[in-house]
Amino acid sequence: MHKKKLAVEIVVYNIDSALKAQEGGADRIELCDNPGEGGTTPAYGTIEVVRQHVTLDVFVMIRPRGGDFQYSSYEFYAMKRDIAQCQRLSVDGVVFGILTPEGRIDKQRCQELIAKARPLKVTCHRAFDMTRDPFEALEDCIEVGFDRILTAGQQAQASKGATLIGELIKRANGRIAIMPGSGVNEDTVSDIVATSGATEIHFSAQSFCESTMTFRNPAIAGMGSDEGSEFLLRSVDPERIRKIRAMAEIANI
C-alpha cells in the first residue's frame, strides 16, 4: 500500500535561500538565523520579506541563543515576544523546544508557548534529541500539544538514528508527526525513509555562491573566523531539493 504523500521541509538562513527553496518545490521552510549555532530566531525584517515573497508555508525558529535549551526568565519572555511578532507577520508555524535541567521536556513552559502561538502550527525542534528518554519525551510532546517533532533519533545525524525514528513513528501512531532531520542528503535519504517509514523530511540542500564584491581587503579574512567566508554566500540548490525529494518518494513506496 502506498504511504502518505511525502512532505519536504527546507531549513533556510536567508531570503535568497527561501526563494530558492520555493523554486525547488519545497512544501515548507524553516526560517532561521545563525547556522553555526544550530539556528536562532531570524530578524523580523527577514521574516516579513520572506512571508511577502513565498507562497509555501513559513515556520520560524524561536530560539533566543545557541547552546542548551534551558532558558532564563528573560529569554523565555523574549520567546513569547518573538511568537507574538511572528503572528503579526502571518507566518504559518513556529519551532521551539525547552528542556528542564534533568533533560525532560519542560511541559509547563512549552504548553504556555504553544497556547500563545495558536492558531499557528508548532514543531518541537531537536531539543528533543537532548532529552533523557525519547519515548518519555514523545508522550510529553503529545501531551502539551506539539504538532510535530524534528529529530535525528537522538544521534548527530538522522541516518544513525533512523531505527529509533521508525519506533517513534510507530509509537506516535498518528498522534504527532515525526520528521527526520540532520544529515539528510542524496547519500542518506533513501535509507532514512525506508528504515523509518517517515512521510516528512527536513534538510538544507545547501549550496554556496561567490560574492559579487570586486574589492576585497586582503588584510581581513572571515572577519576573524572561517577565512574568506564573507565572500561565500549561503544559499539553497533547487535541483538538489528536487533530486532528494525524488529519491525519498521512491523509498516511500
Question: Helices 189-196 & 162-172, crossing angle to 10 degrees?
Answer: 40
Q: Where are the alpha helices (DSSP H) in the chain?
A: 15-23, 44-53, 73-88, 107-117, 134-144, 162-172, 189-196, 238-251
Which of 17-26, 136-145, 203-212 is the least confident region? 203-212
Nearest partner of 2 among 243, 185, 199, 246, judged by Cα? 199
- Return the percentage of the chain with pLDDT > 70, whole number: 96
How far is Cα 149 from Cα 199, in angstroms, rounded to an integer? Answer: 13
**DSSP conformation class of 33:** B
**DSSP conformation class of 40:** B
Q: What is the pLDDT of residues 173-185, one digit of tens each?
A: 999 999 999 999 9
How far is Cα 154 from Cα 246, in angstroms, rounded to an integer? Answer: 26
C-beta separation of 165 from 178 below 8 A: yes
What's the mean pLDDT in 76-105? Answer: 98
CA angle 87, 90, 92 (to 5 degrees): 90
Question: 243: which 3 cell numbers?
Answer: 533530486
Confidence label for 220 from pLDDT (cuts 50, 70 and 90): confident
**Predicted local distance difference test score (pLDDT) of residue 231:** 83
CATH of 7-205+239-251, one of 3.30.420.40, 3.40.50.300, 3.20.20.380, 3.40.190.10: 3.20.20.380
**DSSP conformation class of 187:** T
Q: Taking the domains of the chain in order of start, what are their residue ranges?
A: 7-205+239-251
pLDDT tops 80 at residue 79: yes
pLDDT tops 70 at residue 2: no
How far is Cα 194 from Cα 190, in angstroms, rounded to an integer? Answer: 6
Within its chain, how far is the Cα of 136 from the centroid?
22
Strands 93-96 and 121-124: parallel
Within 8 A by CB and 6+ apart from 28, the residues are 7, 8, 9, 10, 56, 57, 58, 59, 92, 93
Q: What is the mean pLDDT of the chain?
A: 95
**Predicted local distance difference test score (pLDDT) of residue 228:** 55
For the four alpha carbons of 144, 149, 150 and 154, in that order, the dihedral sign comes to positive
**Predicted local distance difference test score (pLDDT) of residue 226:** 55
Confidence label for 22 from pLDDT (cuts 50, 70 and 90): very high
**Predicted local distance difference test score (pLDDT) of residue 229:** 74
What's the mean pLDDT in 142-156? Answer: 98
Confidence label for 1 from pLDDT (cuts 50, 70 and 90): very low
